[in-house]
Each structure stands twice: as C-alpha cells, then as structure tokens.
Amino acid sequence: MKIVMALLPLVFAYSSVALSADAGTLPPPEKYCQWEMSNYSITAPLCGLKGDAARGKLIVSDGHKGNCLACHQLPIDGVEAYGTIAPPLAGISNRMNEAQLRLRVVDSRNLNPMSIMPGFYRDPKLINRPAKAYEGRTFLQAQEVEDVIAYLVTLK
Ligand code: HEC
C-alpha cells in the first residue's frame, strides 16, 4: 500500500502533463519505428538515429521528458531530490551494454512484466493516452531515446 501511495503523484504527473497539452500547439506525431528485441536487447538504434549524450543528460532531468530522476539517482549536480524506488544509475554502463540499455528505456516490461518504469518507446497502439493530443505518440521521441542512451553509455 505504501508503495502505491508513493507512486500516485507520479501517475498524476504523467497524466496531467498529457491533459494540460493544447492540441493546437503540437506538431503531428512522428512516424513510429518498429524495433526488434533479441537476447533481451535492442541492437539497432531506433529509426537508425545517432544519440547525443549532452542532450540526453538534459532529457533525463526534465520533468516533462524522461523524468528519470523521479525514480532513479543519477550523477547530476544541483538536483534537490532524487527518487529512490529504482536502482541508482551511476556506473550503469559497467553493468549493461548499449543494446541492453536500449530495451530498458524503450520498454522494460519485456524484462519484467510488472515493471512500473514507463515504456518510453512502446508501440503507441499499446499505450492508453488520456488526452487526444497525445494519441499515437510515444512518451519520448526516437531521437530523445537515443540521446538518453548515449548519455547512459557515458556513466562509467
Ligand atoms: C516510475 C519510476 C521510473 C521512472 C520514471 C524511470 N524508471 Fe528506470 N527503472 C525503474 C524501476 C523500478 C527499475 C527496476 C527494474 C524494474 O522494476 O523494471 C528501473 C530500471 C532501470 C534500468 C536498469 C537498472 C539496473 O541496474 O538494473 C535502467 C537503465 C533505467 N531504469 C533507466 C531509466 C531511464 C533512463 C529513465 C528515464 C528516461 C527511467 N529509467 C525512468 C523505475 C523508473
């Protein structure tokens, strides 16, 4: 029960971001690129894109983007509070390679069906988005996911 209560604000955070969206201000959803999992990894970069670690670092701390800090501790200075309900990500690239990291960020439910971690690049057909403006959209765009992965790879 305690953990459920602790997670409620997060659930609201995600849905209120979706609900506060103004349908008129969003560009049309980008094309979804199908990915393939093998050996609990996704080897090919999403849509063949190349990530940028500096942009990824901004996305993981952005409450409207990755919001990874809500659950994970990361080696980023000046953060008031980190979430502690998920493993710390400092040194993560010593434990996982790029392809393994990609599956975690894209859809960790392929590893743990009960995972509370959002699938940042699940097939939009499988995501129930309460606001019309967000229908057909993944939580992060393919480029943003690749940026986050490029950043995680630098965490040694
Ligand atoms: C709502 C909480 C939550 C958010 C937000 C979240 N995660 Fe997670 N994450 C988890 C949990 C819990 C786990 C532990 C494995 C599991 O239960 O799936 C995890 C596991 C991971 C792992 C594997 C770590 C290990 O040591 O096994 C990585 C990598 C990861 N998350 C990256 C991210 C990144 C990058 C973001 C932001 C783009 C993010 N997570 C956002 C909850 C979260």
Q: Which residues of 52-66 are buried (b: 16+ CB within 10 A; e: fewer)?
A: beeebbbbbeeeebb
Beta-bridged to residue 41, according to DSSP, are 38
**For ligand 1, is residue 76 a contact (CB within 6 Å)?**
no
**Burial of residue 102, with CB atoms counted within 10 A of its CB: 0-12 exposed, 13-18 middle, 19 or more buried:** buried
Among 148, 132, 146, residue whose Cα is nearest residue 29: 132
Instruction: Count the domains in the chain.
Output: 1
pLDDT recorded at residue 3: 55
**For ligand 1, is residue 69 a contact (CB within 6 Å)?**
no
Nearest CA to ligand 1 atom 34: 68
pLDDT recorded at residue 109: 95
Q: What is the mean pLDDT of each run of 10 residues along the chain (156 residues)?
A: 53 48 75 97 98 97 93 92 93 98 97 96 91 92 98 98
Q: Is this prediction's pTM over 0.85?
A: yes
pLDDT recorded at residue 16: 44
User: Whose structure tokens read 């390679």?
Assistant: 97
CATH number reported for the structural domain that contains residue 124 in this entry: 1.10.760.10
C-alpha 140/C-alpha 14 separation (Å) is 12
C-alpha 72/C-alpha 156 separation (Å) is 16
**For ligand 1, is residue 51 a contact (CB within 6 Å)?**
no
pLDDT recorded at residue 48: 98
**For ligand 1, is residue 145 a contact (CB within 6 Å)?**
no
Among 75, 76, 72, residue whose Cα is nearest residue 87: 72
**For ligand 1, is residue 43 a contact (CB within 6 Å)?**
no
pLDDT recorded at residue 130: 86
Residues of the domain holding 103:
2-22+29-153
**Residue 109 Cα to ligand 1 middle (Å):** 11
